[in-house]
Amino acid sequence: MRPQPAISPASPPPSATPPSRRAASDGLATRLRQDILYCRWVAGQWLKQAELEAHYGVGRSEVRKALAEMLRLGLVVHELNRGYRVTPPDPGRRAEIRATRMALEAAAVDGILAHATPDDVARLRGLAEQFAAAAEEGSFARLVTLNQDFHAALYTLCGNSFLAELIGELRTRGLAGSTGRWTTAPGLRATAREHLAMVEAIAAGDAEGLRGLIRAHIAAF
């Protein structure tokens, strides 16, 4: 493999907060995760600790803690005494994660249908409609937030908080190195439609239908 020069990221992360010592206990991990997921750091690129330190205005300790977290999530790879770099896209691994997500999210369906109250359904429908609206005219960041909210609300309903958290983590991991369908308007609309269809399946108590929708939703990414 040809070692790539250690250039700056494609577009310098704009979140260049001045050296303000805020509650950055895991804030850096979140920011770094977002920046990696949205390809602000080029895949395969070396993430030099000093560079991160300067870009995010934090100390070395924070950088290393965040890098360890990214390593855990599989967003970066580590080579001893060489450093960390952004994990290159791996279609095979992503397929494995999708398959695993299908198993987990399908397992959550029964719990969701068992616990969902009319209020829950109404709330989910509201989130799905907000996403649909944002899909027409909304910022990328807002789409991401609404999407996360919808899925978090959905899987929280399953009654198994561990399962819900694990699904959330895998949803993040599976995105590594792919922007999904969100780069095209038709893809966005399809996503929004699927969300709404899921809500209706829940309202109808249709377990098998919901499972199929979820499976398709995962497969489409």
Q: Which of 1, 14, 22, 25 binds a second copy (CB under 8 A)?
A: 25
81 near DNA, judged by CB under 7 A: yes
CA distance 162 to 3: 40
When CB distances are held under 5 to 8 angstroms depending on the partner's kind, the choice from a second copy, DNA, none that residue 216 binds is none
When CB distances are held under 5 to 8 angstroms depending on the partner's kind, the choice from a second copy, DNA, none that residue 121 binds is none
When CB distances are held under 5 to 8 angstroms depending on the partner's kind, the choice from a second copy, DNA, none that residue 50 binds is DNA
Phi and psi torsions of 184, nearest 5°: -120, 145
If one counts every other C-beta atom within 10 angstroms of the C-beta of residue 86, the result is 23
CA distance 42 to 53: 17
3 near DNA, judged by CB under 7 A: yes
Q: Which of 1, 7, 20, 80 binds DNA (CB under 7 A)?
A: 80
221 near DNA, judged by CB under 7 A: no
Q: Which amino acid is residue 26, in one-letter code?
A: D
Here the tokens at position 175 are 């995105």
- CA nearest to 69, candidates 30, 100, 12: 30
113 near a second copy, judged by CB under 8 A: no
When CB distances are held under 5 to 8 angstroms depending on the partner's kind, the choice from DNA, a second copy, none that residue 35 binds is none
139 HSE (CA, 13 A, CB side): 3
Q: Which of 20, 25, 117, 139 binds DNA (CB under 7 A)?
A: 25
User: Which residue stretches of 116-160 are H helix?
Assistant: 118-136, 140-156
Q: Which of 99, 133, 216, 219 binds a second copy (CB under 8 A)?
A: 99
